[in-house]
Chain A
């Protein structure tokens, strides 16, 4: 990796101050994406702001019908959290399925959400559960937050602080892993929420997206059979040496069925 300045602020305010002063500075949480990129010299930030010293970014809190998860909460902590397991078991299970043990012991929710890798797991849950992304400056609805491949509504210098998940009536998640990387090749997160049914696809396209036909089908009839006949168009989906866009489109229907079955 190239040389960079290293900062380890203790408060959100200090972190934001450093990040705002230099638009090319990069925040690092668990480092599961940025660190490999640095090692491969694919990224050359002048400064790296290590968030691990900011205690207020950690933790899971239940507040009535809402679960708030701090940005720096690791996947392993979400997976093992009794609060998450009780309130949104699909979220705990999803977190427990990310990468491998090493990744889950380092990777954080905020890092995954802010990075918005199309093949990551968390964006599907955040969008599927109609969560609210809380930053140091504002609150952003999930529908407005994810803006395509590695792009979000976050402004330069803006720090993702937490995500608020409304507790759904039921939710489920199923995915097909890329055989090599074990990232998501096609995944579907389904939820029955107070605001209606949501079906979100990850992995298959250039970014996480809602599948409105499936949402309609499940609104009318919450069952795996209801989505079994809904075909996802292959247009615009990813194709590579591991599978064509058509294969991924097919997997969307399969994973939707499984996610509904998982949700019960």
Chain B
């Protein structure tokens, strides 16, 4: 008997099904997998940021104990480069510079950590020992580390095919209309900022195992990926030339990704290729220090912008010029991050009549930069929300009032921005009011005074943000340069006795899909979640998939499941009609029961499924046996979560240490499936946002050495850096997907950095501070306090 308790469907805070496995240490991560006879790979990486490789002598290494093989790029002739998934076009219509990204460095190394050779040995330690015996002769070249330096005339050229180290010079919006708006402005507020470079640092380092079946010629790659089908496509078609049918990619339990595990990395191709070459499984596991110099980094923008306002503080126009760091090579998503995931978001929650944005993407002698939780949208939100606070200070208009005056009116949806997006829904006033209320905004001055009495500087900061996620409509992204579609695939397999297996192209690496997706099935088909199994992460099991990133799993993956359930219900109705000798049109379905309308005749889903698999008297020309349906769902639009984050900070004026003492998040993420999981997602995002605002910074020296290259110098947020985070939701439903959902994975990391930094600047209002760059470290804050109290200089 199928019984779904009211506590299992949409809106229920069901405990996570996957947690028994994770919390008891029984997760199966890539490094937990060992294949019979596997050898171990270790990569020798460049110690230089930019150097010519004059020679590589592997003879001594090959003679070391346990060594199976040593490979350099010379052994990999014929392999393709690591492909890039997006092609952006310059202002003049020409395509971006897209230099080859070889699997192993060829001719030159271009960042510290660029792999030069790979050793395969019987043990990891032996591979490492042998790597030390490889003699590489380098001619060290000047590095181009800083973006401005890389763009300067005469800068060291990293790639022959990227003159001036420029990847692209791109624009969006109308320059002439924007210039005209500025010409008529009452006031122009100028602002410059750097969005600090971050190292993602998922708890599980990357790992990969290549396996090759000599009898069938089949390859298998086990990898720490957010999107195994995409890796199969990119690696199979572009790098190794292995047809999909002969290549299986498995992404088992994955311990966090945050974007850094979307991309196809060289190590995946290396172990797969080496397994085929050596006829042995080859395993590679990244060390933490190695991950700092080989996982794609995030953010790293330098931006100048100007906001035009009329006398009442209404925004008239926005101009933005951004330099975005690509690092040494183009990672899979990199070119789209500072363009279609950033500049298209520059309208935020505001009705800005005209916007013109220009983005130069720059190659530098650093690790490739790509999407990191939020990807472009945190950069846009930070810019806009700091800019609005600066504008409030300079116009004398209250910062909340200035926001209200410029919000997109609630009755203006669908709203077309001047930067390509059409927002379907939202109510920014409601989330603002709720957050002001919850945070005790109006009572803040009393708290400031109380803190001051104890020698603390207290500040409050607000951010009213919006993001575009649920990526993405294939037709739209295709026209913008994506080389793939961004639909998702869901299969609903109802077994003979009525239990359900869900196959999804989404991938869970911390998001709790095994629970949330089961709740969707429970809610719609009436099957208890204990009888719903969610399968993901294996190209041999799941028909296809585009994976998990951009807060897309529920909005796109969940919608695919919804569509597949439509098909299940439609077929179930046919079977029910046949069994109950009624017309299909008269069959109604509700949570597990097929009923002949207006009668007491009904069949449970399990009876229908049993009949589907035991079709003894089916009219076979009308009805196929089986109850197993697959749907591909291509979203009609992005989804647009938005909301309001409010941070309160206290600064120890003697040490400069900033403590976030209170944090309020009110997010409109559409319909909520599991409030507990949403709360965890938002809290995790806020933790990373606070990390960016106060702690994290990837710092290179001028020679291209990563100074913050380990946890000793790269400040990850810890539990005691974080306040209790109050999470509330206020839903307006997405109008264009069947679930009404918008996505919650990134909102925390998008909304929070400007809220925290606005609070820090507010706390230091008596010190003449207009802006502070992230991260607001104690030393940086002390420098400001040490300079003494003074009024803010007029711009």
- Chain A residues proximal to chain B, CB less than 8 Å: 1-2, 40-41, 176, 179-181, 240-244, 247, 250-251, 254
With both beta carbons as reference points, the residue of chain A lying nearest to B653 in the complex is identified as A254
Q: What's the nearest-Cβ distance from chain A to residue B761, in Å?
A: 20
Q: What's the nearest-Cβ distance from chain A to residue B30, in Å?
A: 21
Q: Is B707 an interface residue (CB 8 A)?
A: yes
Q: Which of B707-748 contact A (CB under 8 A)?
A: 707-708, 711-716
> Do the beta carbons of A181 and B711 come within 8 Å of each other?
yes
> Do the beta carbons of A40 and B655 come within 8 Å of each other?
no
Instruction: Name the A residues within 8 Å of B125 (CB-CB).
Output: 1
Mostly, the B contact residues are: loop
With both beta carbons as reference points, the residue of chain B lying nearest to A258 in the complex is identified as B654
Q: How far is the CA of A251 from the CA of B655 in the complex (A)?
A: 7
Q: How far is the CA of A177 from the CA of B712 in the complex (A)?
A: 12
With both beta carbons as reference points, the residue of chain B lying nearest to A180 in the complex is identified as B715
Q: Is B34 an interface residue (CB 8 A)?
A: no
Q: How far is the CA of A181 from the CA of B707 in the complex (A)?
A: 13
- Candidate in A2, A244, A247 with the most chain B CB atoms within 10 angstroms: A247
Q: How far is the CA of A41 from the CA of B713 in the complex (A)?
A: 19
Mask of B678-703 contacts with A, CB within 8 angstroms, 1/0: 00000000000000000101010000
Q: How far is the CA of A176 from the CA of B778 in the complex (A)?
A: 10
Instruction: Name the B residues within 8 Å of A243 (CB-CB).
Output: 777-779, 782
With both beta carbons as reference points, the residue of chain A lying nearest to B652 in the complex is identified as A254
Q: Is B786 an interface residue (CB 8 A)?
A: yes
With both beta carbons as reference points, the residue of chain A lying nearest to B707 in the complex is identified as A241
Q: How far is the CA of A180 from the CA of B778 in the complex (A)?
A: 12
> Do the beta carbons of B289 and A179 come within 8 Å of each other?
no
Q: Is B583 an interface residue (CB 8 A)?
A: no
> Do the beta carbons of B655 and A179 come within 8 Å of each other?
no
20 new A-B contacts, CB < 8 A, other than A179-B715, A242-B777, are: A40-B289, A179-B777, A180-B695, A180-B715, A180-B716, A181-B713, A240-B713, A241-B707, A241-B713, A242-B779, A243-B777, A243-B778, A243-B779, A244-B779, A247-B656, A247-B778, A247-B779, A247-B782, A254-B654, A254-B655
- Chain B residues proximal to chain A, CB less than 8 Å: 125, 128-129, 289, 654-657, 695, 697, 699, 707-708, 711-716, 777-779, 782-783, 786
Instruction: Name the A residues within 8 Å of B657 (CB-CB).
Output: 176
> Do the beta carbons of B778 and A179 come within 8 Å of each other?
yes
> Do the beta carbons of A180 and B782 come within 8 Å of each other?
no
Among A1, A241, A250, the residue within 8 A (CB) of B782 is A250
Q: List 24 A-B contacts (CB under 8 A).
A: A1-B125, A2-B129, A40-B289, A176-B657, A176-B778, A179-B695, A179-B715, A180-B708, A180-B714, A180-B715, A181-B711, A181-B712, A181-B713, A240-B713, A241-B699, A241-B708, A243-B777, A243-B778, A244-B779, A247-B778, A250-B782, A250-B786, A251-B655, A254-B655
Q: How far is the CA of A2 from the CA of B697 in the complex (A)?
A: 32
Q: What's the nearest-Cβ distance from chain B to residue A174, in Å?
A: 10
Q: What's the nearest-Cβ distance from chain B to residue A172, in Å?
A: 16
Q: How far is the CA of A243 from the CA of B129 in the complex (A)?
A: 37
Q: How far is the CA of A176 from the CA of B695 in the complex (A)?
A: 15
Instruction: Name the A residues within 8 Å of B715 (CB-CB).
Output: 179-180
Nearest 9 pairs between A and B by C-beta?
Answer: A243-B779, A180-B715, A181-B712, A254-B654, A179-B715, A247-B779, A180-B713, A241-B699, A241-B707
Instruction: Name the A residues within 8 Å of B712 (CB-CB).
Output: 180-181
Instruction: Name the B residues within 8 Å of A179 (CB-CB).
Output: 695, 715, 777-778
Instruction: Name the B residues within 8 Å of A247 (CB-CB).
Output: 656, 778-779, 782-783
Instruction: Name the A residues within 8 Å of B779 (CB-CB).
Output: 242-244, 247
Instruction: Name the A residues within 8 Å of B713 (CB-CB).
Output: 180-181, 240-242
Q: What's the nearest-Cβ distance from chain A to residue B205, in Å?
A: 14
Q: What's the nearest-Cβ distance from chain A to residue B382, in Å?
A: 21
Q: What's the nearest-Cβ distance from chain A to residue B771, in Å?
A: 20
Instruction: Name the B residues within 8 Å of A41 (CB-CB).
Output: 128
Q: How far is the CA of A179 from the CA of B718 in the complex (A)?
A: 10
Q: How far is the CA of A63 from the CA of B691 in the complex (A)?
A: 48
Q: What's the nearest-Cβ distance from chain B to residue A98, in Å?
A: 15
Instruction: Name the B residues within 8 Å of A181 (CB-CB).
Output: 711-713
Instruction: Name the B residues within 8 Å of A40 (CB-CB).
Output: 289
With both beta carbons as reference points, the residue of chain B lying nearest to A181 in the complex is identified as B712
Instruction: Name the A residues within 8 Å of B289 (CB-CB).
Output: 40
Q: How far is the CA of A40 from the CA of B695 in the complex (A)?
A: 25
Instruction: Name the B residues within 8 Å of A176 (CB-CB).
Output: 655, 657, 778
Q: How far is the CA of A41 from the CA of B127 in the complex (A)?
A: 14
Q: What's the nearest-Cβ distance from chain A to residue B454, in Å?
A: 14
Q: How far is the CA of A134 from the CA of B699 in the complex (A)?
A: 43
Q: How far is the CA of A16 from the CA of B10 in the complex (A)?
A: 68
Q: What's the nearest-Cβ distance from chain A to residue B716, in Å?
A: 8
Q: What's the nearest-Cβ distance from chain A to residue B661, in Å?
A: 17
Instruction: Name the A residues within 8 Å of B697 (CB-CB).
Output: 241
Q: What's the nearest-Cβ distance from chain A to residue B132, in Å?
A: 8
Q: How far is the CA of A234 from the CA of B128 in the complex (A)?
A: 42
Q: How far is the CA of A251 from the CA of B652 in the complex (A)?
A: 12
Instruction: Name the A residues within 8 Å of B714 (CB-CB).
Output: 180
Q: What's the nearest-Cβ distance from chain A to residue B420, in Å?
A: 39
Instruction: Name the A residues within 8 Å of B708 (CB-CB).
Output: 180, 241
With both beta carbons as reference points, the residue of chain A lying nearest to B717 in the complex is identified as A179
Q: What's the nearest-Cβ distance from chain A to residue B131, in Å?
A: 11
Instruction: Name the B residues within 8 Å of A250 (CB-CB).
Output: 782, 786
Instruction: Name the B residues within 8 Å of A242 (CB-CB).
Output: 713, 777, 779
Instruction: Name the B residues within 8 Å of A241 (CB-CB).
Output: 697, 699, 707-708, 713
Q: How far is the CA of A244 from the CA of B786 in the complex (A)?
A: 13
- Candidate in B128, B697, B712 with the most chain A CB atoms within 10 angstroms: B712
